[in-house]
Amino acid sequence: MTKVLAINAGSSTLKWKLFAMPEETVIASGLVDRLNLPGSVFKVKLANGKKYTETQDNITNKLAAAMVLTRLKTYGILSHLSEITGVGHRIVAGGELFKDSAVITPLVLKQIKALKDYAPLHNPVQAYYIEVFEQLLPEAKQVAVFDTSLYTEMPAVNYLYGIPYEYYENFGARKYGAHGTSHRYVSSRAAEILDRPLADLKLITLHLGSGSSVTAFDHGHALDTSMGFTPLDGVMMGTRSGEIDPSLVAYLAQKLDITMPKMIDILNHKSGLLGVSQLSPDQRDLEKTQADRPQSKLALDMFVNRVVRFVGSYVAELGGLDALVFTAGSGENGIAMRQAIADQLGYLGIAIDPAKNDFRGKERVVSPDDAAVKVLVVSTNEELMIVRDVVRLT
């Protein structure tokens, strides 16, 4: 048995899971939240169900990584850090350089840093954690797992924009997508549940949460995806606008007398469900208030509308559909949301059995037994995908 650590670092959080491989069992997991802020929170959950929480002001990125390893020893999970033989890092942007996960070398690390323009909030901090864990675990193999690698071989007709071609050649202006690690896991898991080879299936996977994206798989290959050059494009999300006319963006920046970066920040952090509802980015809050607040209902209806649009267009691209797969926070737990989306797609043979759909957070086929298109709920597991890649490459 070997122990492999999956690191999922955000701009203000550090999520991690320690796996026993090849058994693929989770030994421990945790979250460090509010990094570099007052009231930083460090949480650990062990395989036996025990949970530990610590609060400390201004936990730095480096201290967070050190605390993960020291607490694993404190709680008796590790007797020595050398037991960890591999570390997998989720990296948001790999551009066109990385068509697969990669063992981290000095060159790979340099390239990850150079791709910061494609993910300015994520790539720099993720590169930093690579360097920190190289110091803390010098004997462990480190692997970068890229969110974008799934989409590097999409057809050019889908990844290019209708702009001068030299902008793609000179500046890398194309659709890169996101959530690729989640979509990759969910598509393969759905094929297992259906007991069919992924290479035989036409699938659409719906990663619906605070950030949401839709991906079409044609016989095991990503055909198209909703997120674009950045995760701002695509369906409306918790705080992101999703697709929008760029002329409107310029118009609003002028009317508001703000810079374009400030306008983009509004589209990323103050739009979507939050912006429309003027209440919350959380679908649960909107569901509770939709009877009394028309804007809450409007925001939810717009979200369903945008998802349905993408599913419909992707079925047209695929020329048919074998299965529709829900995953992530809303996808796994949003009973009403799943039903609402399926109801609008009935003309495609998509249907949900309300009795089967009455659950949260499990894996299940929720379509009627005789449905032309299977509808599944699959729990995403990006960390498992990450450690599998570590084992595969090392």
Binding residues for ATP: 15, 207-211, 282-284
User: What does residue 112 show for φ and ψ, rounded to 5 degrees?
Assistant: -60, -40
The Cβ of residue 110 has, within 10 Å, a number of other Cβ atoms equal to 11
Longest dimension (CA), the chain: 61
Q: Which residues are annotated as a binding site for substrate?
A: 90
Task: Evaluate whether 172 touches 116 at the Cβ level (below 8 Å).
Answer: no
The Cβ of residue 27 has, within 10 Å, a number of other Cβ atoms equal to 18
What is the 3-state secondary structure of the chain? CEEEEEEEECCCCEEEEEEEECCCEEEEEEEEECCCCCCEEEEEEECCCCEEEEEECCCCHHHHHHHHHHHHHHCCCCCCHHHEEEEEEEECCCCCCCCCCEECCHHHHHHHHHHHHHCCCCHHHHHHHHHHHHHHCCCCEEEEEECCHHHCCCCHHHHCCCCCHHHHHHHCCCCCCCCHHHHHHHHHHHHHHHCCCHHHCEEEEEECCCCCEEEEEECCEEEEECCCCCCCCCCCCCCCCCCCCHHHHHHHHHHHCCCHHHHHHHHHHCCHHHHHHCCCCCHHHHHHHCCCCHHHHHHHHHHHHHHHHHHHHHHHHHCCCCEEEEEHHHHHHCHHHHHHHHHHCHHHCECCCCCCCCCCCCCEECCCCCCCEEEEECCCCHHHHHHHHHHHHC
Looking up tokens 């094929």 gives 191
Task: Quote the tokens at residue 242.
Answer: 């999703």
Q: Which residues are annotated as a binding site?
A: 8, 15, 90, 207-211, 282-284, 382
Q: Which residues are annotated as a binding site for Mg(2+)?
A: 8, 382
Ramachandran sector of residue 95 (left: φ over 0; alpha: ψ -120 to 50; beta: rest)? left
Catalytic residue among 100, 117, 147, 245: 147
Tell me whether residue 369 is one of the annotated catalytic residues: no
Q: What residues act catalytically?
A: 147
